[in-house]
Chains A and B, each alone.
Chain A
Amino acid sequence: MPEYTLKVRRYQPESGQPAYWQEFKVDLDPDLSVLDGLLQVRDRQDGSLVVRCSCRAAICGSCGTKINGQSTLACKTQIGEAHERANRRSAAGIAGSDGGESPIVVEPMANMPVVKDLVTDMESTHWAKIRRVTPWLIPEGDPPEREYVVPPESMIDVTQSVSCIQCGACVSSCLSMEADPEFIGPAALAKAYRFVGDPRDAQTRQRLYDLAQDPHGIYDCTHCFSCIDACPKDVAPMDQIMRLRRIATRDHGITDINNGHRHEAAFTKIIQKKGTLDESLLLQESYAQGIAGKLKPSMGAIAGLVGSIPTAVRGVRTGKMRSLTKLIPGVHKKLPGDAQEHVQRVYEHAEEHREELNLYIAGEEEIAPEPDEEEAATPEAEVEPEPDEVGER
């Protein structure tokens, strides 16, 4: 059986010592998991190693861990694969990697306090935030005599966010939360969508308004895709946050104090008019939209615009913005010829339909093989496996 090296971040608070790294060698089939490796360490080498786990089958969500820097479930990460990933730098011939074997690095989840070794305290940055989004149904009127009845198809949409197993991997990976610990975060916002998208809930608008107005709400997400990579269940929390934004602005016309709606509306309108982005206009319109916004700007708009003046002045000085088209909002050129009219046509068509294709639900369509080719469909044409069967990516 192959031997692997696990480099584990240890922390034993009762010792009074700071955290440290410790390497362990384990013998394991490559198909087994990093969790199996950790349990082998605990059983055979060091009974003091603290690991949290239960089902070992990516169902309970207990073993959230960082493996080679990636937040994930230890039970869903094959040790052979983790070993390959650890060695990618040396395999790619990057200097400083010394060409030798690199250990598999195992750390506790980030963005939360460590209790001991690989066990984190999820209360403050996970559970408290989940409670923050009112994670229960608030229907209107008297409850029905028996269960609430809804057409099954109206619930398909929330199945993706329902798949969450509360492991905290997305919270651990969140780069916004790293900069702003108050950010409500990917897990809780995905949970919020679970109720916003539920046809039985009667507080949709109130939920959205609350999350849009919160400075640490839906507009605090930097769109970095980390949570999508971390999630072992394909919940794609960031996608759910973008849907919350879409529904808040488009369906409920919610204008927030964080410039979220104004920024999106200004951006969309500029491309409709100009085809490419007029950055000066975007900046101006994101803070103070239209004539009314400029005649009676809010305190936030004034602060935002004044705050961006030093940056603009520096830009003019270096030549970055030394032209009228860049400095004066609205002077930016349209696309050449009739191209802008065609962009306009694209807008008309798309605004009329507003279709949303969610590949988690729709899947990728199977493509029939070319008639003159014997080989089967190409790999990318394969149908997405069921969410529960999706392997570590």
Chain B
Amino acid sequence: MSALKLAYWPGCVSRGFTPELHGSMAVVADRLGIELVELDRANCCGAGVIAEHNQELADTLNARTFALAQGTGLAMMNICSTCQGAQSECQQRLDADSAYRAHINEALSDEGIEYVKDKDGFTNKNFLWVLAEDYGLDELKAKVARPLAGLRVGPFYGCYVIRPRSRIGYDEHPERDLYLEQVIEALGGEVVEYDGARKCCGFPVITMNRETSLRQAGTHLADALDAGADCLVTPCPLCHLNLDMQQPEAAKLAGRELGLAVLHLPQLVGLALGFEPDELGMGKHIASTEWVEERLTGAVPA
């Protein structure tokens, strides 16, 4: 396989309240041999919230990020389902209409950049998609130093990498809503089926309707626990905020103990590559990850 080099948009939350995501992505990319060129001048995707204020503003902000990525001559990778969703939505509008695109590009001209719709389309993929489609699950499997044998992992996608179906690219990649299961298996772990894998974590309404929000998080955590999960894994740091950071609050509302570790996707990959939990920032989580460590130390090394 030729070396993978990508323009990298880490997003805001991975450098804010989930610093362990950004950190673990860096060490994991290095071990996998994926070269990441960080877009340090790029801006927030708007998370759908700026689009609520002004759709053109959200489209222009993301056109700016795409243009900066295009300036590197590389395809772009993100590590946040929410970035993926907000950016894909804007890209769909930008790609659909050349007059609109030209209008948006006016705002970027001062900076000397431009979002170009090229023939093959601009590529922006979540790390999950990169793993399954570009890096390859066989290649990933070959890199596994410590199979996650015996670890029961519940997938939690985050809405924005699986919906809406019309925008997510299922025609070309029909298994995009099955990749987490495939990755868990490639790493030697066991997939736990539970009701919430493709549901909403509730985070977008945490400041608007705290009860609706925490009830969603609590329900999915409880369902996963009841299905026997040792941990969840998610490619979305905003889901992580509600499932992990808010977990004690969700437990209060649910009226039961939860205590389920929630791993970022690069952390799960990192564990299988042989990194120690500390190197992946797992001590920064709110819900203890000790159970995951205990499970893994009991596993037979490859």
Q: State in angstroms the CA–CA spacing of A356 and B97 once bound together.
A: 12
Chain A residues, CB < 8 A from B159: 223-226
Q: State in angstroms the CA–CA spacing of A276 and B42 once bound together.
A: 8
Supposing A95-B185, A279-B13 touch, asked if A318 and B57 sit within 8 A by C-beta, the answer is no
A175, A286, A350, A354: the one within 8 Å of B107 (CB)? A350
Q: Which residue of A lies closest to B192 (CB)?
A: A96
Q: Is the CB of A346 within 8 A of B93?
A: no
Q: State in angstroms the CA–CA spacing of A321 and B241 once bound together.
A: 12
Q: Is the CB of A279 within 8 A of B53?
A: no
B52, B54, B246: the one within 8 Å of A354 (CB)? B54
Chain A residues, CB < 8 A from B64: 342-343, 346
Q: State in angstroms the CA–CA spacing of A95 and B106 once bound together.
A: 51
Q: Is the CB of B209 within 8 A of A258?
A: yes
Q: Is the CB of B205 within 8 A of A219?
A: yes
Chain A residues, CB < 8 A from B98: 365
**In the complex, which range does the number of interface residues on chain A fall in?**
35 or more
Q: At the interface, yes or no: B295 with Cβ under 8 Å from chain A?
A: no
Q: At the interface, yes or no: A250 with Cβ under 8 Å from chain B?
A: yes
Q: At the interface, yes or no: A1 with Cβ under 8 Å from chain B?
A: no
Q: At the interface, yes or no: B100 with Cβ under 8 Å from chain A?
A: yes
Q: At the interface, yes or no: A336 with Cβ under 8 Å from chain B?
A: yes
Q: Scan residues 200-217 of chain B and give those whose CB is less than 8 A from a CB of chain A.
A: 200, 202-205, 207-213, 215-216
Q: At the interface, yes or no: B256 with Cβ under 8 Å from chain A?
A: no
Q: At the interface, yes or no: B130 with Cβ under 8 Å from chain A?
A: no
A81: min CB distance to chain B, Å: 11
Q: Scan residues 287-312 of chain A and give those whose CB is less than 8 A from a CB of chain B.
A: 287, 304, 307, 310-311
A250: min CB distance to chain B, Å: 7
Chain A residues, CB < 8 A from B174: 88
Main secondary structure on A side of the interface with B: helix
Chain A residues, CB < 8 A from B49: 263-264, 267-268
Q: State in angstroms the CA–CA spacing of A52 and B231 once bound together.
A: 41
Chain B residues, CB < 8 A from A364: 95-97
Supposing A180-B215, A319-B284, A345-B110 touch, asked if A271 and B165 sit within 8 A by C-beta, the answer is no
**In the complex, which range does the number of interface residues on chain B fall in?**
35 or more
Supposing A223-B159, A279-B13, A320-B284 touch, asked if A264 and B52 sit within 8 A by C-beta, the answer is yes
Chain B residues, CB < 8 A from A180: 209, 211-212, 215
Chain A residues, CB < 8 A from B164: 225, 228-229, 236
Q: State in angstroms the CA–CA spacing of A353 and B213 once bound together.
A: 34
Q: Scan residues 160-176 of chain B and give those whose CB is less than 8 A from a CB of chain A.
A: 160, 163-166, 170-171, 174-175
Q: At the interface, yes or no: A30 with Cβ under 8 Å from chain B?
A: no
Q: At the interface, yes or no: B51 with Cβ under 8 Å from chain A?
A: yes
Q: Scan residues 202-254 of chain B and give those whose CB is less than 8 A from a CB of chain A.
A: 202-205, 207-213, 215-216, 219, 245-246, 248-249
Q: State in angstroms the CA–CA spacing of A183 and B200 once bound together.
A: 15
Q: Which residue of A lies closest to B205 (CB)?
A: A222
Q: State in angstroms the CA–CA spacing of A259 and B210 once bound together.
A: 11
Q: At the interface, yes or no: B145 with Cβ under 8 Å from chain A?
A: no
B51, B207, B246: the one within 8 Å of A263 (CB)? B207
Q: Scan residues 73-109 of chain B and give those whose CB is less than 8 A from a CB of chain A.
A: 85, 92-93, 95-98, 100, 103, 106-108
Contact with B along A357-393 (1 / 0, CB 8 A): 1010011110000100000001110000000000001
Chain B residues, CB < 8 A from A250: 53-54
Q: Which residue of B lies closest to A84 (CB)?
A: B174
Q: At the interface, yes or no: B48 with Cβ under 8 Å from chain A?
A: yes
Chain A residues, CB < 8 A from B52: 242, 245-246, 249, 264
Q: At the interface, yes or no: A153 with Cβ under 8 Å from chain B?
A: no
Supposing A179-B215, A349-B106 touch, asked if A326 and B17 sit within 8 A by C-beta, the answer is yes
Q: Is the CB of B248 within 8 A of A314?
A: yes
Q: Scan residues 334-350 of chain A and give those whose CB is less than 8 A from a CB of chain B.
A: 335-337, 339, 342-343, 345-350
Q: Is the CB of A356 within 8 A of B50?
A: no
Q: Which residue of B lies closest to A88 (CB)?
A: B178
Q: Which residue of A lies closest to B64 (CB)?
A: A346
Q: Is the CB of A277 within 8 A of B12?
A: yes
Q: State in angstroms the CA–CA spacing of A147 and B189 once bound together.
A: 67
Q: Which residue of B lies closest to A347 (CB)?
A: B57
Chain B residues, CB < 8 A from A95: 185, 190-191
Q: Is the CB of B212 within 8 A of A380?
A: no
Chain B residues, CB < 8 A from A286: 207
Q: Is the CB of A89 within 8 A of B57?
A: no
B156: min CB distance to chain A, Å: 13
Q: Which residue of A lies closest to B198 (CB)?
A: A69
A183: min CB distance to chain B, Å: 7
A-B contact pairs, 6 of them (CB 8 A): A175-B199, A176-B205, A236-B164, A279-B12, A343-B43, A348-B107
Residues of B that sit less than 8 Å from A by CB: 12-13, 15-20, 40-41, 43-44, 46-57, 59-61, 64, 85, 92-93, 95-98, 100, 103, 106-108, 110-111, 119, 121, 159-160, 163-166, 170-171, 174-175, 178, 181-182, 185, 190-191, 193, 199-200, 202-205, 207-213, 215-216, 219, 245-246, 248-249, 283-286
